[in-house]
Amino acid sequence: MRMQKIEIELGAIEKAQSFEALHIAMRNAKAKLGFQHYAFIQANVSRTDGILLQDYPDSWVRLMSETFAYTRSPILLAGSIMPGPFEWEELPNILTLTCDQQRYLEMARQHGLAFGFTVPLHAPGEPSASVSFVNGKARPLNKDSLPMAMYTASRAFLAGRRIKRANADHEKAISDHDRRVITYLCRGMSRNQIARKLGIDIKAINAVVIRGCKHYEVGSQTELVVRTLFEQAIRFEDVIH
């Protein structure tokens, strides 16, 4: 029955073509599931393509933006290390909470964020993400809603990745020459082998790797290979050809 209640919202999440559309769909879905607030966060300190969608109380959002208190969030920390979902009441069993982290949770409760359920979301080559569904002090979580909340979070994560890829349009930014070299790297060939195969100087291969790492903002050839495959700038079928 609950699945039928949010079927339209799940469809809207999967079809969202922008983060604004995804936010509206998530806001509708959390309401159908019986939650007051939600937050979809994927933070990346080394890039500018993170995701922050939420409808937390304005007072809390202002406090976080003014004090940067989110850097002390035990919820984000637990979400980055936990392989599965957790309720906020479980945080003392997951982390040894510092005084600052305890104060953070108390402030959240005072601003209407008391009972929470967080779904960590991890994918190779990407920073950790999480989707949280939250209620205030007078509205404990409905345990029956949690399995569907997990499913909704996973759908939102896939939609967010798709929208991010469409916005970034990485594939067009890589030249045919650089894509060919990186494809050979993905096949496990050394830089010297690629230089001999293409009949060019090893310095040209090194330059491709440097350009690729700069474009994807990664620090090594291995990370470059992972990112290009993950972003589908290099197709797996080309690698195994």
* pLDDT at res. 165: 79
- The pLDDT > 70 percentage for the chain reads 91
Q: Where are the beta strands (DSSP E) in the chain?
A: 37-42, 51-54, 86-87, 115-121, 129-135
Instruction: Kindly state the average pLDDT of the residues 209-234.
Output: 83
Q: Specify which residues 116 forms β-bridges with.
A: 134
Instruction: Determine contact, residues 191/205, Cβ cutoff 8 Å.
Output: yes
Greatest Cα pair distance in the chain: 71
- Could you report the per-residue pLDDT of 105-133, keeping only the tens digit for each? 999 999 999 999 999 999 887 788 999 99
List the single range of 84-98, 161-175, 187-201, 220-234 with lowest mean pLDDT.
161-175
The number of angstroms, rounded, from the C-alpha of 219 to the middle of its chain's C-alpha atoms is: 20
Residue 49 has pLDDT above 70, yes or no: no
Mean pLDDT for 167-182 is 76
pLDDT of 171 > 60? The answer is no
**Tokens coding 210:** 């440097």
Closest CA to 194 of 13, 148, 163, 203: 203
Q: What is the dihedral sign for C-alpha 206, 210, 211, 213?
A: positive
What pLDDT is stored for residue 43 in this prediction? 74
Q: What is the pLDDT of residue 164?
A: 85
At residue 46, the pLDDT reads: 42
**E strands within 90-234?**
115-121, 129-135
- Compute the mean pLDDT over every residue in the chain, rounded to the nearest whole number: 89
Q: Kindly indicate the confidence band of residue 174, based on its pLDDT and cuts at 50, 70 and 90.
A: confident
pLDDT of residue 13: 97
DSSP state of 48: S
Q: What angle, 0 to 180 degrees and rounded to 10, lies between the N-to-C axes of helices 202-216 and 221-230?
A: 60
Question: Which domains does the chain possess?
Answer: 2-168 (3.30.450.80), 170-239 (1.10.10.10)
Read off the pTM: 0.70
Is the model's pLDDT at 191 over the cut of 80?
Answer: yes
The pLDDT of residue 217: 78
Vertex 187: Cα angle to 181 and 191 (nearest 5):
50
User: Is the predicted pLDDT of residue 103 greater than 90, yes or no?
Assistant: yes
Measured distance CA(129)–CA(131) in Å, rounded = 7
Q: Is pLDDT of 47 > 50? A: no
What distance in Å separates the CA atoms of residue 179 and residue 234, rounded to the nearest whole number?
Answer: 7
Does residue 55 or residue 176 have the better pLDDT? 55
Question: Is residue 17 pLDDT above 50, yes or no?
Answer: yes
Q: Would you say 233 and 179 are in contact if contact means Cβ atoms under 8 Å apart?
A: yes
Give dist(CA 84, CA 63) in Å, integer. Answer: 29
Q: How far is CA 37 from the centre of its chain?
A: 18
pLDDT at position 71 is 79
Give me the DSSP letters along 49-95: --EEEE---HHHHHHHHHH-GGGG-HHHHHHHH-SS-EEGGGHHHHS
Q: What was the pLDDT predicted at 50?
A: 76
